[in-house]
């Protein structure tokens, strides 16, 4: 997976802030176009109080939108990011599918899961990695009533993995970057596998040659160099670091490193 596709599609750590309200994709249903979007929405239930809402691509809606929630509040699911991605597909790095294409036009589909509906909408299923879970289609009238009463909020994922490095003693250094308008925000986590801790950031220097991240006290600096080896500085002592490709290690980052342990990523696989 290229960095470009990761910036477009991924992302993923919870930001400690109140959820902002979103308007539903059909707005206030004042226009025929909006009402047609609502009519096209399909809802699947898992029988345990969780619902997935799919709004297919259509002339009325650029869509392919996906929402997940408890029926009272629905969270927008971040899309895969590829323009012709199948309706219902979403980025899910915690569930790995080794049989999927690892490079389809620059996208690694081994970390993509999906919700699939039959053409007649008599069946739907949630796939998380290799695990397939049957869902129950919600009848259209019940679905519209549910959707009209619900509140909507954006994805809780505000940061995404940007760089991963490690030293020869097994200490990892993960750099996260904010998504969208927050792409100038960075966070750093360091530590052994499963025990990484966030470092307090004081300053960031970024240019075409790389980034320098200064942490609390000014004694610790992580230098991510685009041409030379990166290094970690402690009181002027340099520790060389090995770059670990982010795209090839997403399941490790999300399942083993420790940054995302217990985090809800706002996808239908949160409760699997």
Sign of CA dihedral 196, 90, 117, 47: positive
- Segment 228-269, tens digit of pLDDT: 778 888 777 888 889 899 999 999 999 999 999 999 999 999
Query: Residues near 120 by Cβ (< 8 Å), separated by ≥ 6?
Result: none
- Residue whose token pair is 């400690």: 16
- Please tell me the distance from the alpha carbon of residue 7 to that of residue 107, in angstroms, as a whole number: 12
- Segment 42-53, tens digit of pLDDT: 999 999 999 999
- Please tell me the distance from the alpha carbon of residue 264 to that of residue 270, in angstroms, as a whole number: 6
- Residue whose token pair is 């909006």: 34
pLDDT score recorded for residue 230: 85
pLDDT beyond 80 at 167: yes
The Cβ of residue 125 has, within 10 Å, a number of other Cβ atoms equal to 15
- Please tell me the distance from the alpha carbon of residue 106 to that of residue 3, in angstroms, as a whole number: 10
Within 13 Å, how many C-alpha atoms sit on residue 169's CB side?
A: 7
Q: Which DSSP category does 85 fall into? A: P
pLDDT beyond 70 at 183: yes
pLDDT score recorded for residue 19: 53
230 alpha-carbon distance from chain centroid: 26
Q: What is the pTM of this model?
A: 0.84
Most confident of 15-19, 101-105, 160-164: 160-164
pLDDT beyond 60 at 198: yes
Residue 258, token pair as written in the block: 């420790």
pLDDT beyond 60 at 135: yes
210 alpha-carbon distance from chain centroid: 24
């Amino acid at each position: 997976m290229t960095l470009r596709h990761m910036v477009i599609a991924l992302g993923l750590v919870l930001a400690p802030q109140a959820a902002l309200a979103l308007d539903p994709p059909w707005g206030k249903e004042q226009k025929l176009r909006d009402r047609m979007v609502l009519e096209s929405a399909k809802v699947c239930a898992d029988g345990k109080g969780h619902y997935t809402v799919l709004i297919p691509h259509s002339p009325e809606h650029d869509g392919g939108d996906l929402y997940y929630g408890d029926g009272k509040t629905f969270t927008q699911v971040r899309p895969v990011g590829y323009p012709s991605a199948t309706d219902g597909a979403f980025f899910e790095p915690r569930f790995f599918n080794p049989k999927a294409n690892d490079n389809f036009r620059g996208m690694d589909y081994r970390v993509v899961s999906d919700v699939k509906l039959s053409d007649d909408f008599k069946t739907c299923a949630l796939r998380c990695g290799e695990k397939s879970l049957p869902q129950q289609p919600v009848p259209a009238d019940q679905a519209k009533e549910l959707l009209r009463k619900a509140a909507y909020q954006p994805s809780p994922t505000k940061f995404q993995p940007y760089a991963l490095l490690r030293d020869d003693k097994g200490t990892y250094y993960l750099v996260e970057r904010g998504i969208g308008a927050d792409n100038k925000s960075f966070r750093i986590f360091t530590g052994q596998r499963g025990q990484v801790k966030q470092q307090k950031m004081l300053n960031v220097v970024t240019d075409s040659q790389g980034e320098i991240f200064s942490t609390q006290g000014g004694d610790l600096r992580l230098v991510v160099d685009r041409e030379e080896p990166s290094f970690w500085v402690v009181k002027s002592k340099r520790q060389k670091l090995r770059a670990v490709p982010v795209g090839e290690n997403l399941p490790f980052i999300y399942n083993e490193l420790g940054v995302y342990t217990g985090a809800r990523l706002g996808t239908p696989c949160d409760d699997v």
